[in-house]
Amino acid sequence: MVEPQHSGTDAAWSVLGGDPALTGRIVHSGPPGLLPARLPVMAPARSTVAVCALAAAELAAERDGGTVPTVRVDDGAVATAFVSERRLRIDGRAPTTFAPLSRMWRTADGWVRTHANYPHHRTRLLSALGLPENAGAAQVGAELAGRRAEEIEETVHSAGGLAVVARTAQQWAAHRQGAAVAAHPLLTLDAIGDRTPPRPLPPLAGNPVLPAAGLRVLDLTRVIAGPVATRTLALLGADVLRIDAPQLPESQDAHNDTGFGKRSTALDLGSRSGRATFEELLAGADVVVTGYRPGALDRFGLAPQALVERRPGLVVARLSAWGEDGPWGGRRGFDSLVQVATGIAVIEAGPDGTPGALPAQVLDHGTGYLLAAAVLRALTGRARTGGSALATLALARTARWLVHGPWGEDGAEGRAGGAPAVAGGAPDDAARHLRDTDSPVGRLRHALPPVSFDGGPVTWATPPGRCGADAPVWRQPGEGDG
């Protein structure tokens, strides 16, 4: 069955600068009623995967000179992949998704959401509240109950922690940051730096078809959105090397979900040797993806303009929580916090009025697939016309798209029941979209990738390894290509 021309898919593909006629290559299937919520969650989930798969298929055709392969979007695969971190099992163990102090709290005049999954964020939260390092949820709850929500938000932010007020969509629209977000499109994909000659890619060989084979990606991202994007590029054949600071290691459980197909290394960019190693890697890179708050990496020479000056023809993809401008442009943030700040949590509130959550971290996952799509479209553009490119995305822009997007009939299913989000929200037939894989960290049961096109890969060439365990070098040609 050929997928109807969903307005969300068309809109996302248009923002990416794609040929509108190519959306006719998308075939849609799968059961209805997945990821139920008051907001039309499945619509943007489906659309982001569709445009990512279409961008991959387009790049494959560019390399081989043939017709763009048919793209196949299965709603069951999409819904399962959008809760991949919840579906993951490591030797039968379910990883912890949120720490005890990452949750919603009642305040004297409303609600706030905190995020304290990383130890340094937990320390800063407790310090901001004047609580000891060993304070538990009961003490934190008692402290927050006596304070005003906005005062908590600013106090915790000033200490480098994370807490946001639960606002309505109308309150967010009136907020200065909400206005800054509304002034931008869903994403931008622009030329940057001096024009460089086209860089055609060699024809593809082998089965499956890997559109990104031979391309090198430096992955400086964390948590879900950025790692989902680079996990997708790895699926498509790219040599993805994730870089983390040794003093701020990633959670191994998180990496077990998003580290498929990649290698992982620890590199101190603040040291002379670390910077020298990074420059050697950059000299051979095609893509750099960053997922830290705007400006956080500039002191290491990782601002987009600085990168393309040193590596002309580079594709730079930059992801943030709140965007690059506005009063929150430099703030940290995560999907759960963006849902709360932008009105989504209030829309999904339970019967008792407690702000709720979407059945999947759709802002993270959806933005991740959009980011991968932007990189793939930029690589196609580089092969055709040359130049460097900068893709810019933000979780808050994806949130606005979800709440105010052009869903039409595509979103009617999500809105019809008027029911709040159901925790987990995965399809009943999720087992069809799961696979067991042996890895250096144990036997993994994991979601299969939803990005699919005729002749393309069905899973990753390699499982995730241990964080930081790989050497900071590029693979040799032919090494590790699946």
Active site residues per annotation: 364
Tokens of 305: 């303009």
Phi, psi of 296 (to 5 degrees): -65, -30
Q: Which of 479, 474, 459 is nearest to 235 (CA)?
A: 459
- Say which residues have a Cβ less than 8 Å from residue 108's Cβ, sequence separation at least 6: 145, 146, 147, 148, 149
Q: What is the DSSP letter of 94?
A: P
Cα 269 from Cα 245, distance rounded (Å): 7
Q: How many CA atoms lie within 13 A of 410 on its CB side?
A: 23
Q: Residue 172: which H helix or E strand, with range?
A: helix 169-174
Q: Residue 29: which H helix or E strand, with range?
A: strand 26-29
Q: Which of 480, 446, 52 is nearest to 258 (CA)?
A: 446
> Is 82 in contact with 74 (CB distance < 8 Å)?
no
Degrees to nearest 5, angle at CA 338 with 334 and 339: 120
Unique residue bearing structure tokens 């907001």: 39
> Is 316 in contact with 191 (CB distance < 8 Å)?
no
Cα 38 from Cα 91, distance rounded (Å): 35
> Is 387 in contact with 313 (CB distance < 8 Å)?
yes
Tokens of 256: 């077990």
Burial of 351 (0-12, 13-18, 19+ CB in 10 A): exposed
Q: How many CA atoms lie within 13 A of 229 on its CB side?
A: 37
